[in-house]
Amino acid sequence: MNAEAIKRSLESGGLRCTPQRYAVMAFLTECKRHPTAAEIFEAVNRVDPRSSRATTYNNLRDLVQAGLVREVAVEGRAARFDAKGMRHHHFICDRCGNVEDIEWYNVRRPASRSLGKRILRECELIFRGLCIKCAQRRASG
Amino acid sequence: MNAEAIKRSLESGGLRCTPQRYAVMAFLTECKRHPTAAEIFEAVNRVDPRSSRATTYNNLRDLVQAGLVREVAVEGRAARFDAKGMRHHHFICDRCGNVEDIEWYNVRRPASRSLGKRILRECELIFRGLCIKCAQRRASG
DNA sequence: GAACAGTCTGGAATATATCTAATGTGACAT
DNA sequence: ATGTCACATTAGATATATTCCAGACTGTTC
Ligand SMILES: [Mn+2]
Ligand SMILES: [Mn+2]
Ligand SMILES: [Zn+2]
Ligand SMILES: [Zn+2]
């Protein structure tokens, strides 16, 4: 995604395009991994403009609220983030906690009877097990 | 579940049945909510034996590893726990973070092509939106 | 009854995330 | 151009959640 497209997506989410916010969004858009807030903070500060830790967290919160970024909570570890581009599911490694994308496919929604009066926004499918690295390590070690 | 059954389930997981560990498991088994570690710590200490915070965390870790307890990570909040009794899915409220059980139904597994050499242990389906309380509050407020 | 593995404990330490109060920035009106 | 306003940023302090640690305890085996 180019600079203009990022700018537009920020504005479509009702967010001003500030240099720090742009840097976070641009990094997430190009990043194939699922970085933590600390990694994002470090990455956007390797290039100018310098951004503070608080601003990184603030902007991540805003981007998540605007629906442009997804936050993935991993038990016992720092949250991870990714730009919501193409729909996909996630695989989380039991051993190393890495989050990997899995090709999207349709998920059956729950019966409205079991949802009751809850308001459903989204269904998230998470796969758990061992990532390739950890599976190999277990097999050979 | 009665005391004997809890004792057996601990031992089936390769865990000694210590008073503190039993207390955690017994509380989770009867608890309909999804308590945090702090809530579990407080609850098991309302009745003897007193258990330390570190022991509560240690035992929760052991129980999760043994597959008897599930840990649910919620973004920006403390992890929540429940005893793995009947299979079920989870609904997590965007607003208050509450975790609620949703009747289980079968989930289609990913194509083995998209899993690659990963080792799949489980598929977890998480629904997100507003719980009944928060939906009402939004409607009326 | 010594030795041992596993467990428990309180407190310290770490990791993660949020808050605060002061400052900066850009849009817009006067 | 200046004042004003909402919003954004900043460094550092603070809060929260979890893990680590070193020593004490417990139950079992030889
Ligand atoms: Mn992803
Ligand atoms: Mn549950
Ligand atoms: Zn792994
Ligand atoms: Zn709610």
Q: Please give the average per-residue pLDDT across B120-127, as a whole number.
A: 94
The architecture of the domain spanning A1-83 is Orthogonal Bundle (1.10)
Q: How far apart are CA B48 and CA B50, in angstroms?
A: 5
Q: Are strands B80-83 and B69-72 parallel, antiparallel or unpaired?
A: antiparallel
Residue A16 scores a pLDDT above 80: yes
Label residue A28 by pLDDT band (50, 70, 90).
very high
Q: How far apart are CA A100 and CA B101, in angstroms?
A: 26
The architecture of the domain spanning A86-141 is 2-Layer Sandwich (3.30)
Name the residue with higher pLDDT: A49 or B87.
B87
Q: Are strands B88-93 and B99-103 parallel, antiparallel or unpaired?
A: antiparallel
Q: For A85-119, b where at least 16 C-beta lie within 10 A, e where not — what string?
A: eeebbbbbbeeebbbbbbeeeebeebeeebbeebb
Which tens digit of pLDDT belongs to each residue from A59-77? 999 999 999 999 999 998 9
Which tens digit of pLDDT belongs to each residue from B34-45? 999 999 999 999
pLDDT at residue number A108: 94
Label residue A47 by pLDDT band (50, 70, 90).
confident
Residues of chain A in contact with residue B120, where contact means CB-CB under 8 angstroms, are: 127-129
Label residue A1 by pLDDT band (50, 70, 90).
low
Residue A50 scores a pLDDT above 90: no
Q: Which residues pair with A100 in a beta bridge?
A: A91
pLDDT at residue number A121: 93
Q: Please give the average per-residue pLDDT across A42-47, as a whole number.
A: 92
pLDDT at residue number A137: 84
Q: Show which positions of strand C are touched by protein (CB under 7 A).
A: 6-11, 15-20
Cα B80 from chain centroid (whole Å): 6
Which tens digit of pLDDT belongs to each residue from B72-110? 999 989 999 999 989 999 999 998 889 999 999 999 999
How is residue B36 annotated by DSSP?
B
Nearest protein residue to the C1' atom of D10, measured from CA? A52
Domain with CATH 3.30.1490.190 in chain A: 86-141
Distance in angstroms, CA of B45 to C1' of D27?
Answer: 23
Q: Please give the average per-residue pLDDT across B4-32, as a whole number.
A: 95
pLDDT at residue number B141: 62
Using the beta-carbon criterion (under 8 Å), do B114 and A103 form an inter-chain contact? yes
Distance in angstroms, CA of B141 to C1' of D11?
Answer: 38
Domain with CATH 1.10.10.10 in chain B: 1-83
Residue A85 scores a pLDDT above 70: yes
Distance in angstroms, CA of B19 to C1' of D27?
Answer: 13
Residues of chain A in contact with residue B121, where contact means CB-CB under 8 angstroms, are: 94, 128-130
Percent of chain B whose predicted confidence (pLDDT) is above 70: 99
Which positions ≥6 away from B35 have C-beta within 8 Å? Answer: B27, B28, B43, B80, B81
pLDDT at residue number B1: 65
Which tens digit of pLDDT belongs to each residue from B65-79? 999 999 999 998 999
Nearest CA in chain B to A104: B110
Arithmetic mean of pLDDT over chain A: 93
Percent of chain B whose predicted confidence (pLDDT) is above 90: 86
